[in-house]
């Protein structure tokens, strides 16, 4: 028995249609009280849209369509009813109130999806994917959520869990039948398999890549004053976002622009020119620039190719040695003093592109390079922070299990193997506590 819940499933605001959704044992009865089918009241056929009126007692609230989806062929695997009303909040609110008066209870955020999970229709990673899909802002985030929703994450985790079960079984055999399998044999067979599994899990934990898939790539334009950072931001976004003047030290605040490249979101941040300065306002700007630099997935080091390199350029390049850098030789439309070879001495790892903020065509190779970097995140199977955290913990337990086996304490190893299995189970929801579910679903919107 489950109580019957109801909520508005559509976003508030004006729109063509609003949907009120009902789920639970009494869904059909609640629907019967708030919906009058046109031309008679025969009991509704499952999975069939019916035209009629939404009512509250004798009062007609709207003309609408209704559908009943009998269990188990529904989103929650319970009886589900939906009313498709005219859009706008007022009508849906009244119909929802009628549903509540007819015996339903207002759903908690995420409660429909929670029921879909608890009734075994989807695993926890897919339940979370529903919310990720709803929240996805760009095409890349949508693709990542869809991979998760269609079971990509669950398949990866289940495969890892199966390998782990096999390892656990091998260890149990060695502990239970020592005369048939010696400790040495078991260790020789199992340790490399544990290490390989830990390695595969760690490889799947690309925190930076996962953030790029969820939120977009962060690229920061940096360089000494006047090299053309703000001009490049404006040219790349084709918007007049940042102030450009021939005066060094024009930009103070960081200015952010958004680009969509091959469906990937790229955040471009223009920063204050980096230099030592006594001006207190400019110094605050430089501090912000430093922060943007530290948080960037890729740094676009802008150089003025119409002038020789300065000590400021060199000092900055030196600081960027450990970061992913694309060097931009800007002002390619002017007579050139710099060539890529000058830069590769300073930054051997950096790609070097000749560009001009005055010629948008020259920016194509840069846009391609950014798109390529962002798209690398498309192949990731683990994207949600909660999943990465659990996989990392599983890998750490596997390390400890391998260590315990090396030290000849097989029973300790089995404790860590079990802990690793539990951590993997958290991702798919195979072994989770109520508290964890509360945390996962608290993030949801009402009506989903």
Binding residues for Mg ion, rule: CB under 5 A, are 229-230, 250-251
* Interface with ligand GTP: number of residues (CB under 6 A): 24
Out of 18, 136, 140, 230, the only residue in the binding site for ligand GTP (CB under 6 A) is 230
Shortest distance, CB of residue 150 to ligand GTP, whole angstroms? 44
Helix axes of 207-215 and 139-149: crossing angle, nearest 10 degrees? 110
Pick one of 334, 339, 406, 442: the residue that binds ligand GTP (CB under 6 A): 334
Chosen from ligand GTP, Mg ion, none, partner binding at 356 (C-beta under 5 to 8 Å by type): ligand GTP
Q: Which does 331 bind (CB under 5 to 8 A by kind): Mg ion, ligand GTP, none?
A: ligand GTP
Structure tokens at 417: 């193997």
Is 209 or 225 the residue whose CB approaches Mg ion more closely? 225
Pairing of strands 255-261, 17-23: unpaired
CB 300 → ligand GTP: shortest distance, Å? 11
- Are 270 and 258 in contact, with CB atoms under 8 Å apart? no
Q: Which two tokens stand for residue 50?
A: 């019916």
Is the Cα torsion angle 85, 91, 96, 98 positive or negative in sign? Answer: negative
Report if residue 245 touches ligand GTP, rule: CB under 6 A.
yes
Residue 381 lies near ligand GTP (rule: CB under 6 A): no
Q: Which is nearer to ligand GTP, 269 or 298 (CB)?
A: 269
425 binding partner (options Mg ion, ligand GTP, none; Cβ < 5 to 8 Å by kind): none
Contacts of 354 (CB under 8 A, 6+ apart): 305, 329, 332, 340, 362
Q: By CB under 6 A, name the one of 132, 220, 357, 374 that touches ligand GTP.
A: 357
Residue appearing with tokens 């859009």:
87
Instruction: Please tell me whether residue 237 binds ligand GTP under the rule CB under 6 A.
Output: no
Taking CB within 5 to 8 Å according to partner kind, which of Mg ion, ligand GTP, none is near residue 18? none
C-alpha to C-alpha distance for 62 and 36, rounded to whole angstroms: 11
Name, in order, each residue with C-beta under 8 angstroms of 57's C-beta and a sequence gap of 6 or more.
Answer: none
Nearest to 125 by CA among 435, 425, 438: 425
**Shortest reach from residue 314's CB to ligand GTP, in Å:** 17
Provide the 10 A C-beta neighbour count for residue 67.
20
- CA angle at 162 for the pair 146 and 197, rounded to the nearest 5°: 85
The item of ligand GTP, Mg ion, none sharing an interface with residue 103, based on CB under 5 to 8 Å by kind, is: none
**Between residues 84 and 250, which has the closer beta carbon with respect to Mg ion?**
250
| CA 31 – CA 201 distance, rounded (Å) | 48
DSSP label of 46: B
**Sign of the torsion formed by the C-alpha atoms of 153, 156, 160 and 162:** positive
Pair 3, 24: CB distance under 8 Å: yes
Question: By CB under 6 A, is residue 88 in contact with ligand GTP?
Answer: no
- Which of 94, 331, 397, 448 binds ligand GTP (CB under 6 A)? It is 331
Interacting positions 114-133 with ligand GTP (CB under 6 A)? none
228 binds ligand GTP (CB under 6 A): yes
Q: Looking at beta carbons only, is 182 or 336 nearer to ligand GTP? A: 336
Considering only 108, 333, 378, 399, the residue that binds ligand GTP (CB under 6 A) is 333
Interface residue with ligand GTP among 74, 231, 269, 421 (CB under 6 A) is: 231
24 binds, among ligand GTP, Mg ion, none (CB under 5 to 8 A by kind): none
Dihedral angle of Cα 230, 235, 237, 243, to the nearest 10 degrees:
30
Q: What is the dihedral of CA 34, 39, 45, 48, to 10 degrees?
A: -90
Which of ligand GTP, Mg ion, none does residue 231 bind (CB under 5 to 8 Å by kind)? ligand GTP
Q: Which does 339 bind (CB under 5 to 8 A by kind): ligand GTP, Mg ion, none?
A: none
Q: How far is the CB of 275 from Mg ion (least distance, A)?
A: 12
In 3D space, the residue among 119, 120, 200 whose CA is nearest the CA of residue 162 turns out to be 200
Does residue 246 bind ligand GTP (CB under 6 A)?
yes
Instruction: Write down the least CB distance from residue 282 to ligand GTP, Å.
Output: 9
Torsion of CA 73, 78, 84, 87, to 10 degrees: -130
Q: How far is the CB of 372 from ligand GTP (least distance, A)?
A: 23
Give the contact letters, 248-267, x = binds to ligand GTP (CB under 6 A), - = no: xxxx----------------
Q: Compute the distance between CA of residue 283 and CA of residue 327 in angstroms, rounded to an integer.
A: 24
Q: Are 213 and 375 in contact (CB under 8 A)?
A: no
Nearer to Mg ion, 316 or 440 (CB): 316
Q: Does 225 bind ligand GTP (CB under 6 A)?
A: yes
- In the complex with Mg ion, which residue's Cβ is closer, 67 or 219? 219
Cα–Cα distance, 139 to 155 (Å, whole number): 23
Residue 73 CB, nearest approach to ligand GTP (Å): 59
* Binding interface with ligand GTP (CB under 6 A): 223, 225-231, 244-246, 248-251, 272-273, 330-331, 333-334, 356-358
């Amino acid at each position: 028995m489950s109580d019957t819940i109801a909520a508005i499933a559509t976003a508030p605001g004006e729109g063509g249609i609003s949907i009120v959704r009902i789920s639970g044992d009494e869904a059909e009865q609640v629907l019967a009280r708030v919906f009058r089918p046109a031309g008679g009241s025969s009991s509704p056929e499952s999975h069939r849209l019916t035209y009629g009126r939404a009512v509250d007692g004798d009062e007609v609230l709207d003309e609408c369509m209704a559908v009943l989806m009998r269990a188990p062929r529904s989103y929650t695997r319970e009886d589900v009813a939906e009313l498709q009303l005219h859009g706008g909040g007022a009508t849906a609110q009244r119909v929802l109130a009628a549903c509540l008066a007819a015996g339903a209870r207002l759903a908690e955020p995420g409660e429909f999806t929670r029921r879909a999970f608890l009734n075994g229709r989807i695993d926890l990673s897919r339940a979370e994917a529903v919310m990720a899909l709803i929240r996805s802002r760009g095409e890349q985030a949508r693709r990542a959520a869809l991979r998760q929703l269609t079971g990509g994450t669950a398949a990866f985790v289940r495969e890892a869990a199966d390998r782990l079960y096999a390892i656990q079984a091998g260890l149990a055999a060695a502990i239970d039948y020592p005369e048939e399998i010696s400790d040495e044999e078991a260790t020789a067979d199992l340790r490399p398999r544990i290490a390989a599994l830990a390695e595969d899990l760690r490889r799947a934990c690309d925190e930076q890549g996962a953030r790029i898939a969820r939120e977009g790539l962060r690229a920061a334009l940096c360089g000494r004053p006047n090299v053309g950072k703000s001009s490049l931001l404006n040219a790349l976004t084709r918007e007049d976002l940042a102030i450009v003047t021939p005066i060094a030290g024009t930009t103070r605040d960081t200015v952010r622009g958004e680009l969509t490249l091959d469906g990937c979101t790229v955040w471009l941040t223009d920063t204050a020119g980096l230099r030592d300065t006594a001006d207190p306002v400019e110094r605050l700007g430089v501090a912000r620039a430093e922060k943007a630099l530290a948080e960037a997935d890729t740094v676009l080091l802008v150089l003025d190719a119409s002038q020789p390199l300065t000590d400021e350029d060199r000092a900055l390049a030196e600081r960027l040695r450990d970061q992913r850098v694309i060097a931009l030789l800007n002002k390619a439309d002017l007579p050139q003093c710099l060539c890529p070879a000058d830069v590769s001495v300073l930054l051997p790892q950096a790609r070097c592109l000749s560009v001009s903020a005055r010629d948008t065509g020259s920016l194509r190779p840069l846009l391609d390079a950014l798109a390529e970097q962002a798209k690398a995140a498309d192949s990731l199977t683990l994207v949600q922070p909660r999943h990465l955290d659990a996989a990392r913990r599983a890998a750490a337990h596997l390390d400890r299990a391998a260590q315990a086996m090396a030290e000849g304490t097989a029973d300790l190893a089995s404790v860590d193997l079990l802990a690793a299995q539990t951590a993997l189970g958290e991702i798919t929801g195979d072994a989770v506590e109520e508290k964890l579910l509360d945390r996962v679903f608290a993030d949801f919107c009402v009506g989903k």
